[in-house]
Structure 1
Amino acid sequence: MRDHPIPPVTEPLQYRAIGVVRGTYVPTDPEQLTRGAIHTADGQAVEAVVLGRLLTLMRRHLDLSQPHLWVVYPRSREEQGLHLQMVGIWEPSTLAEPPASEPAVPELAVSEASVAPVASDDLPEGDDYFSVRGELIYTRPETGDLVVKVRQMPRADGSRPIPFKLQLKGELPLEHLRHFVSLAMRRHGEQLQLESFEVLAPVAQRGSRGGKGRRDGGGKPSSKRGGGRTAVSRPVG
């Protein structure tokens, strides 16, 4: 049983990107809940999709006219800004006890199956908190732009998903390029802003001649694929 929707890190270099956003989910089509937007208190409508068994929970147990604290995986889109994949809900005050007819499943681990009855709906980090762990592949302190590469677990068939890149805001020195970093982020509008960071280790570069790629005044390093350690980026469950 957990008392927090974001589980603790289990590996030193564990990749992940997960957070919480409070708001009212409004589907694009009332008959199809899988796509829509989370309408937040600051007036944003952040594009979102619903994944896994959360869809069943939403249909059977939630009042979608009310705001909830959603557990989400962030993604970046060049033109549309922040995009969210909804995987759970944190609301132990109403969802602490799972319905007897429904088994515990990973997607609902933070919403029904693993919530301690004494847990609070409020988190110590507050709303709109995100934890991002991965390889820093771009930083430009003068503009406050960051890009972190996040690797995902191999699928059940053994195939490896393509790593994804998150575009973030904050100031990190150039010397931390190609290092594994742990970032505490906060959503502001449709951007994730850096609040604190920890630099954990350099990331080994496969086939790298110079070790860390080209760095031109803070510009993007070369596109050689980083090695790193394969770890969990879907930590729910």
Structure 2
Amino acid sequence: MINQSELENSKEVGIITDISDKELHLALGLSDPTCNNEISQQDQNESTHDTSNSTAPSEPQLFFQAVGLVRGQYLPSTEKLGSGILLLDDGVIAPTNLLASAVYTVKKHPNLLESPQVWIVYPRVQVKNPPFLNFAIRGARLPLEGEDAEVINQSVDDFSIRGIVTYTNRKAGNFVIKVYRNFMPWKEQEGTKYKPHIFTITGVLPSEGLPCGQFWDLKVKRVADQLVLEDATFITQVFEPKKPKKGRSKRQGQKRKAKRNQSNPQ
């Protein structure tokens, strides 16, 4: 939990306020999310071969990403194949869902559900109740022809996370990174808000100043339901960090209210 006293210590703690989709896309050179993104199917097909497509980041280094490998057995729920749990090799049980590509794969190869597999996953985090780390499975990472399975196993629990740091606490030894969308959907429902994926990483970034508002490329390791920093590469400064306003404590507010009542008796 982040408290006010931590935020006031600007030497140890940094924070950046929430970033709107428009601010983010303009800062990274992406298309304006408020513009009309409805285009014809022909235009979509042509844009896939057009390197000047305005919806792509101007710098490939600024692609957001959160992906990794885990090893465990996927156990679907009785109601739905695409929703279940992953029983990981270290005993962690993580709520998991299958993406469309993974549903197709396990339907075609049902034997994948009979034993632990190495899965390509997108990590997700929930903050209300443990386990805090859960996954969306993209597919199974099977050895290619002539590939040593042991090489794949050495990468299990390794994750690549690329995003913008929005909070850091060097004293506590952790920071928060947000992973946004790289592309706006072609048709965005009115009133729909796409929230970024937020990850709390254990570790300290190798930066001289506060890294808030900076884009970083991280290599992290899953340890139980935590993500631990192993390596980090600074990419660029996207937003300048903002010092949080000092808010009045609840006790101070009660004292002021009592004082007003004494000076203005009814």
TM-score scaled by length of structure 2: 0.61
Q: Does the CA-based 8 Å contact 1:48-1:85 persist in structure 2? A: yes
d(CA) in 2 for partners of 1:125, 1:176 = 30
Deviation at 1:157, TM superposition (A): 1.7
Question: 2:115 is matched with which residue?
Answer: 66
Task: Give a deviation string over 1:135-168, Cα, whole Å, max 9, x none.
Answer: 0111112222221111112113267833221122
Higher percent of residues as helix: 2
2:152 counterpart SS class? coil
Correspondence 1:145 to 2:174: yes
Which AA in structure 2 matches 1:198? T
Correspondence 1:43 to 2:91: yes
Question: 2:25 is matched with which residue?
Answer: none
Q: After superposition, where does 1:8-27 map in structure 2 within 5 Å? A: 11-27=60-76
Q: Which piece of structure 1 moves more, 79-88 or 177-186? A: 79-88
Q: Does the CA-based 8 Å contact 1:48-1:83 persist in structure 2? A: yes
Question: 2:242 is matched with which residue?
Answer: 213
Pick from 207, 228, 247 the counterpart of residue 193 of structure 1. 228
Deviation at 1:86, TM superposition (A): 0.8
d(CA) in 2 for partners of 1:161, 1:22 = 29
Q: Does the CA-based 8 Å contact 2:67-2:161 persist in structure 1? A: yes
Q: Does the CA-based 8 Å contact 2:143-2:152 persist in structure 1? A: no
Question: 1:161 is matched with which residue?
Answer: 194
Question: 2:155 is matched with which residue?
Answer: 126
Q: After superposition, where does 1:95-110 map in structure 2 within 5 Å? A: none
d(CA) in 1 for partners of 2:194, 2:147 = 34
Which AA in structure 1 matches 2:186? A
Q: Any stretches of 5+ residues in structure 2 without a counterpart?
A: 1-58, 246-266
Task: Give a deviation string over 1:54-100, Cα, whole Å, max 9, x none.
Answer: 1121122142121111111111100231011111110035xxxxxxx
d(CA) in 1 for partners of 2:194, 2:70 = 25
Deviation at 1:215, TM superposition (A): 5.7
Task: Report the structure number with the largest CA radius of gyration.
Answer: 2
Q: Percent identity?
A: 27
Give the RMSD, CA atoms, in angstroms. Answer: 2.2
Higher percent of residues as strand: 1
d(CA) in 2 for partners of 1:71, 1:39 = 15
d(CA) in 1 for partners of 2:242, 2:72 = 41
d(CA) in 2 for partners of 1:120, 1:155 = 38
Task: Give a deviation string over 1:101-152, Cα, whole Å, max 9, x none.
Answer: xxxxxxxxxxxxxxxx333433385211100000011111222222111111
Runs of 4+ in 1 over 6 A off after TM superposition: none
